[in-house]
Amino acid sequence: MTDNYTKAVNSGFTKTLAKKLGLPRPAILRRHRAGSPLTVGPVLVVSDAASRPDADALARTLLGWGVDVRREPTDDARWGAVVLVLTGAAVPTDVSGAVLTTGSVLRSLAPSGRVVTVSRATTDGDSPELAAVRQGIDAFVRSLAKELRFGATSDGIVLTDDAAADDPTALATLRFFLSAKSAYVDGQLLPVGPTPDAARAAETATTPDHATERPLAGQVAVVTGAARGIGAAIAKTLARDGATVVCVDVPAAGEALAKTTNAVGGTALQLDVTADDAGTRILEHARARHGRLDIVVHNAGIVRDKLLANMAPAQWDAVVAVNLSAQLRINAQLLAAGLEGLRIVSLASTSGIAGGKGQTNYGFSKAGVIGHTRATAPLAAAAGGTANAVAPGFIETDMTATIPLLTREVARRLPSLQQGGQPVDVAEAVAFLVSPAAAGINGQVLRVCGQHMVGQ
Amino acid sequence: MATRKPTGSASRATARAAADRAPGVRDAVIVGGNRIPFSRTGKKYSDASNQEMLTAALEGLVARFGLQGERLGEVVGGAVLKHSRDFNLVRESVLGSSLSAQTPAFDLQQACATGLEAAINVSNKIKLGQIDSGIAGGTDTVSDAPVAVSEGLRRALLDASHAKTLQARLKALAKVRPADLKPLTPSTDEPRTGLSMGEHQAITAARWGISREAQDEIALASHQHLAAAWDAGFFDDLVTPFRGLTRDDNLRADTSMEKLASLKPVFGKSLATSSEAPVEPTMTAGNSTPLTDGASAVLLSSAEWAAERDLPVLARFVDAETAAVDFVHGHEGLLMAPVHAVPRLLARNGLTLDDIDFFEIHEAFASTVLTTLAAWEDADYCKSELGLDGALGSVDRARLNVNGSSLAAGHPFAATGGRILATAAKLVAAKAAETGRPARALLSVCAAGGLGATAIVESV
């Protein structure tokens, strides 16, 4: 799974050699395993003075999760994470102390450690000082992510509207960022809204998601493009989290689809998502066979890279049809069916943010996904659901394995984490976004790119 | 339920009551089917074994219906060309699948009728309440066919293994002659006549005066119908690709009467030189099925079992009839057994040919279909051979093999029954949904040894 270069620079003689030569040394990232602790070491919770109440609340929650929480740096610790709470910062000078305290412990941050900021989004009507400090945190997180080494990441929770720092959604996001599930999410700031009342009630009425490790129990999920690669990983991860998964792929991919389906104990639906009635047929299958439909993951996608000057109509049209139009049509059919609480995640791409040479068609389609996700969000919210997107960067799949060696090797080393992600990294982000507790995140794009150097 | 042993008239009354209930044995329904695309021998599946192919067919079925870990009542199937090591072929395939390892299985074999006979077995067990669910399947490969040693070598090897001394062992092996080293390849020749199936059918076709053109028309229709069905997505929930093959590779969507007419006859050439009544040979590679590799599986169950699992139900497996003809000493054609079975099957169910919406008549050869239809239209034949009062009737060609059959799809012997059954079940379900009234299909599969299996399925 891990690429050969990463393996080489992490073991034996080649490790020593790489060190001596000063070669890039991507870390072997810690990934989620059932039963493993949330972080690899104690968590330091720091804040500016005004954010102290929020920091206290988060520290209490972390203690409740069984985490070793510290409020002051100590010399002996090998830190699992630093949680930097800046929700109350009002002017730029407010954050200095907490930021520099964070800096003082970075040398003792464990491999695959985490720095997670919790701050508030800028809004219309903010004073210039307030807007300055809030916006400043954005590039602070991104810059720090580029400095961290050994698989450590830096991400931020940006509370929007009147979301509280200890809302179920904010806490679920904190947990995701601290955990090994966000291994390849780096340099990202995720806007988190208030948890809708229904989700909040469900969270408090039942055992919290994370305690059961099966937050999707009883739910039915549809994953398109599930035969292999990222889609297969998503199907497996949603099944791990308790969902019954309907695995969809084109009839021609049926052999691999059957394999994935039988591995997750779901049902296979051989269907071309570009069919006019694809959404209706998906819904019919889910309802007839499993009684309901709660989650849709639009993962099916194709590439037909060509410079625009050389682009054949079929190459443009096929990419737009599969990557974009199919999602639009299926969403329209599902929303028209009045599904309550439908959770939608669409696969975008960093190419849909930064663009890519030879990818005018792909970039258009993936940026289109981001666009329609934002527009679909309020429609989904009206029925108690959400619509979000996940934008993978370079992920190690059969698809990227076809990229010429040198190009592929360069693409792997570009992100801050200096390696490609695994399909499961994307799958974990999807599983997080469709989890009940994440109901307050809507209309967002979460990048899973190891902090790719292009775009935001 | 308490049992008691009735006596006297009470016993007869109970027996009568039981007989009255007999038709009330519960229904066996067809939930759905799955097969791998069929491939001409020596192509895509050239190194795939029967077990791999049957396992793949089962895995696709399990995935389609979410049967992972499910303990089914029975899986029944077989292969016509079978290695001796595959003595438990179906059970081994089940163990290699995602079904519960507690699912029993057995092999059966009835030449080309294997697949349909498997479905008859499963449906009977379901109807009797012995099982609630089962899979009927079949697989065959000519690419990976068993190759045996000659009788002389086999005898010598066995004698040598029984010998107690080195000397005796050498003596036994010394009996091997160079000619004994020639391997025995499987043959489709009839053991009792030495004639190939094609030669047998050529005689039958000549007797019924079946023209070359009529046969080519059947072949053309088969290819056109199958291609249209593929294009319409009919097989999207009936087929799971295997080894990169996504469609039956024998299918020639672009074939034409001209192309078919250009092919040279391959069977019945000896009839052309017959001194008595020379007959122009008519059977070509185009209007005969090619040797094919593939596997199929069909899920059957009680209606309750399907409902409990929210599974769809396509059709009821109504009834079946097998027949055999005396092609060795008698005068009937080798592949004419279904002609005898169908009238008995229809009569038992109070039906006529007009009550059938879809005729699925296995195209071993185009002429098999044509001799079958001709025989049913022939009053004298029906009277003398089938014991009917007159002609059985005509088959509406518009209802015949509407989504193609073996000439286009190919014919991996034991897998054909499952292909036909799943197709027929889906056809009647769609027709019933469209018209709002019940639809019926008649299935007919001829087989080596003068055998034939037929069945009726009906929409639910």
Residue B58 has phi, psi (to 5 degrees) of -65, -45
Distance from the Cα of A290 to chain B's closest Cα (Å) equals: 7
Nearest CA in chain A to B308: A289
Distance from the Cα of B422 to chain A's closest Cα (Å) equals: 16
Instruction: Test B236 with A255 for CB contact under 8 angstroms.
Output: no
Instruction: Test A290 with B239 for CB contact under 8 angstroms.
Output: no
A452: left (phi over 0), alpha (psi -120 to 50) or beta: beta
Whether the CB-CB separation of A268 and A234 falls below 8 Å is answered with no
Provide the 3-class DSSP secondary structure of residue B72. coil
Amino acid at B416: T
What is the per-residue pLDDT for B315? 98
Which residues of A are known catalytic residues? 362
DSSP B86: G
Token pair belonging to B168: 């005796």
Amino acid at B100: S
Instruction: Test A251 with B233 for CB contact under 8 angstroms.
Output: yes
Instruction: Test A258 with B239 for CB contact under 8 angstroms.
Output: no
Nearest beta carbon to residue A251 from set B66, B69, B246: B246
Mark whether B382 is an active-site residue. Answer: no
Distance from the Cα of B66 to chain A's closest Cα (Å) equals: 5
Which stretches in chain B have pLDDT values below 50? 1-23
pLDDT digits (tens, 9 = 90+) for B354-389: 999 999 999 999 999 999 999 999 999 999 999 999
Amino acid at B224: Q
Other CB atoms closer than 10 Å to residue B185's CB: what's the count? 10
A249, A260, A261, best to mutate vs chain B, most B CBs in 10 Å = A261
Mention every residue, 6+ apart, whose C-beta is less than 8 A from residue B433. none
Distance from the Cα of B331 to chain A's closest Cα (Å) equals: 47
What is the distance of C-alpha A438 from the center of its chain?
12
Burial annotation A303-319 (CB, 10 A radius, 16+ → b, else e): bbbbeeeebeeebbebb
What is the per-residue pLDDT for B304? 97
Cα–Cα distance, A416 to A145 (Å, whole number): 7
Instruction: Test B63 with A289 for CB contact under 8 angstroms.
Output: no
What is the per-residue pLDDT for B10? 46
Nearest beta carbon to residue B60 from set A252, A253, A258: A258
Nearest CA in chain B to A247: B63
Nearest beta carbon to residue A271 from set B236, B244, B246: B236
B135: left (phi over 0), alpha (psi -120 to 50) or beta: beta
Strand partners, B284: B265
B246 interfaces chain A, CB cutoff of 8 Å = yes
Distance from the Cα of A259 to chain B's closest Cα (Å) equals: 8
Reduce the secondary structure of chain A to three states and give it as a string.
Answer: CCCHHHHHCCCHHHHHHHHHHCCCCCCCCCCCCCCCCCCCCCEEEEECHHHHHHHHHHHHHHHHCCCCEECCCCCCCCEEEEEEECCCCCCHHHHHHHHHHHHHHHHHEEEEEEEEEEEECCCCCCCHHHHHHHHHHHHHHHHHHHHCCCCCEEEEEEECCCCCCCCHHHHHHHHHHHCHHHCCCCCCEEEECCCCHHHHHHHHHCCCHHHHCCCCCCCEEEEECCCCHHHHHHHHHHHHCCCEEEEEECHHHHHHHHHHHHHHCCEEEECCCCCCCHHHHHHHHHHHHHCCCCEEEECCCCCCCCCHHHCCHHHHHHHHHHHHHHHHHHHHHHHHCCCCCCEEEEECCCHHHHCCCCCHHHHHHHHHHHHHHHHHHHHHHHCCCEEEEEEECCECCCCHHHCCHHHHHHHHHCCCCCCCECHHHHHHHHHHHHCHHHHHCCCCEEEECCCCCCCC
Of A198, A199, A219, A196, nearest to A208 (Cα)? A199
Q: Is the dihedral of CA B80, B82, B86, B87 positive or negative?
A: positive
Of A169, A191, A129, nearest to A389 (Cα)? A191
Tally C-beta pairs within 8 A across A and B: 62
Reduce the secondary structure of B222-262 to three states and give it as a string.
Answer: HHHHHHHHHHCCHHHHCECCECCECCCCCCCCCCCHHHHHC
Instruction: Test B240 with A270 for CB contact under 8 angstroms.
Output: yes
Instruction: Test A253 with B98 for CB contact under 8 angstroms.
Output: no
Beta B292-301 vs B39-40: how paired, if at all?
Answer: antiparallel
List the 97-136 stretch of B: residues with Cβ below 8 A of A: 98
Amino acid at B210: I
Cα–Cα distance, A276 to A255 (Å, whole number): 24
Cα–Cα distance, A425 to A32 (Å, whole number): 9
**pTM for this entry:** 0.90
* Tens digit of each residue's pLDDT, chain A (456 residues): 678 888 888 888 888 887 888 787 888 999 999 989 999 999 999 999 999 999 999 999 999 999 999 999 988 889 999 999 999 999 999 999 999 999 999 999 999 999 999 999 999 999 999 999 999 999 999 999 999 999 999 999 999 999 999 999 999 999 999 999 999 999 999 999 999 988 877 766 555 555 568 999 999 999 999 999 999 999 999 999 999 999 999 999 999 999 999 999 999 999 999 999 999 999 999 999 999 999 999 999 999 999 999 999 999 999 999 999 999 999 999 999 999 999 999 999 998 888 888 999 999 999 999 999 999 999 999 999 999 999 999 999 988 888 888 888 888 888 999 999 999 999 999 999 999 999 999 999 999 999 987 665
Nearest CA in chain A to B245: A252
B65 interfaces chain A, CB cutoff of 8 Å = yes
Mention every residue, 6+ apart, whose C-beta is less than 8 A from residue B301. B28, B29, B31, B126, B132, B133, B134, B311
Token pair belonging to B343: 């009238």
Reduce the secondary structure of B92-110 to three states and give it as a string.
Answer: HHHHCCCCCCCCCEEECCE
What is the per-residue pLDDT for B1? 41
What is the per-residue pLDDT for A8? 84
Strand partners, B295: B139
Instruction: Test A267 with B312 for CB contact under 8 angstroms.
Output: no
What is the per-residue pLDDT for A200? 79
Amino acid at A42: P
CA distances from residue A388 to A116, A431, A432, A445, A446 in whole angstroms, order as listed: 21, 12, 11, 6, 8
pLDDT digits (tens, 9 = 90+) for B81-116: 999 899 999 999 999 999 999 999 999 999 999 999
Q: What is the DSSP track for B263-303?
A: SPEEE-HHHHT-SSS-----EESSSBPPBEEEEEEEEEE-H
CA distances from residue B237 to A250, A336, A343, B456 in whole angstroms, order as listed: 11, 26, 27, 22
Cα–Cα distance, B368 to A234 (Å, whole number): 51
Catalytic residue among B223, B225, B362, B411, which? Answer: B411
Whether the CB-CB separation of B53 and B92 falls below 8 Å is answered with no
Nearest CA in chain B to A253: B241
What is the per-residue pLDDT for A455? 62
B45, B100, B237, best to mutate vs chain A, most A CBs in 10 Å = B237
Cα–Cα distance, A105 to A255 (Å, whole number): 51
List the 256-315 stretch of B: residues with Cβ below 8 A of A: 310-312
Mark whether B112 is an active-site residue. Answer: yes
Mention every residue, 6+ apart, whose C-beta is less than 8 A from residue A177. A114, A116, A153, A155, A157, A185
Average pLDDT, chain A: 93
Whether the CB-CB separation of B113 and B417 falls below 8 Å is answered with yes
